[in-house]
Amino acid sequence: MAITKLGPLLSGIRGTVGGVVFSENKAGTFAKLWAPPSQPRTSRQSIERAYLAQMPNLWRDLTGVQQAAWDTFAALAAQELTNSLGDAYYISGYGWFCKCNVRLLRVGLTPLVPVPTQARPAAPTIDDFRVCTAGAVEPDLCCCGVATASTDQGAPNLPSAAFDDNLVTHWRTLAPNTTGWLKYVFPGAENVKHYALWSDDPPSTQLGIDWTFQVWTSGAWVTLHTVSTMSYVGAAWNHFYFPNPYTETDYRINITLNNGHPTNLIVFELEMFTADENKSVICFPEDDFDSAPDWDLILHISLGGSIGRQVQYPGFYEIIASQTPGRWFQLFQDELETVFGTIQEQRSWFCQLYR
């Protein structure tokens, strides 16, 4: 089977005709004799086949009305696709059903029965990337300082409860206040470049989802980091990194929207760190890669202010970040494979760091 694009004689062809494969690579178009493709049985391939094998039964479980809705969805102009010859085409409702649900199954989510109603999401923006020395833990700076807040409920929900290293206690605003700020004054000036917030499971509706992290300098609050529509994943530390040219004593988180609760705002635990270069050998975009890094693999990715999810399959490893091929690329590859074994580069979560 082949697809063609007719012009004066023939302007483009992809596929197989009469035992000849027509295709294109970076060097241009080419043709070669067809040969039976290999069928490797890697663990990743087996997983992908298992996902696809579930699709016929999931589709069969839909009602006729639901299947028709997928067909209608597939015919919309927004679902137009483009083939390798640059021509537009459409796939069936079943094709879109598979396309959407295989991706959901890959990350452990429930398959989608009704057609999607949301607009297509924007591509994720990776605004922070770190590789830290193995086993290193940055010390929490929030010790011996003074915590204050816009409001509080009184004991035991005082501002200090958000800095007591106890994941159960918390600061809570006095109702009805769904917004507010929580401030910490260090006994000495600090250069904070990293903070972490603890979220419970399931995430409380009282947690903040929009906020700014600020430093008091030269008589005004200066915003160092901003988060909008934070998405929590359950009981976990949520880490945020940013450059900070200031060394000051007063820092605060100013929360302007909570997760839906009608009367209160809550912070379970807030920790602040210096992002010590001895602990974090790579911090993109802060570091300039001037010297050879020690590629120990504790990796944090922030996608628009939330922690990215890495799915690790048994027996399968993937590079989710690498430098652009250059001075240290082979060192990076060699050290990765020393830890993980031979790397299989797949699509999924893959990014490049550009100098």
Q: Report the C-alpha gap between 128 and 135 in whole angstroms.
A: 20
Whole-angstrom Cα Rg for the chain: 26
Give the mean pLDDT of 259-281. Answer: 80
The DSSP line for 76-132 is SGGG-EE-TTS-EE---HHHHHHHHHHHHHHTTPPPP-SPP-SPPPPPPPEEEEEEE
Residue 245 pLDDT: 93
Say if pTM beats, i.e. exceeds, 0.75: no
Residue 287 pLDDT: 43
Give the mean pLDDT of 254-272. Answer: 96
Walk me through the domains of the chain, giving residue ranges and CATH numbers.
2-33 (no CATH), 43-106 (no CATH), 146-273 (2.60.120.260), 280-353 (no CATH)
Average model confidence (pLDDT) across the chain: 76
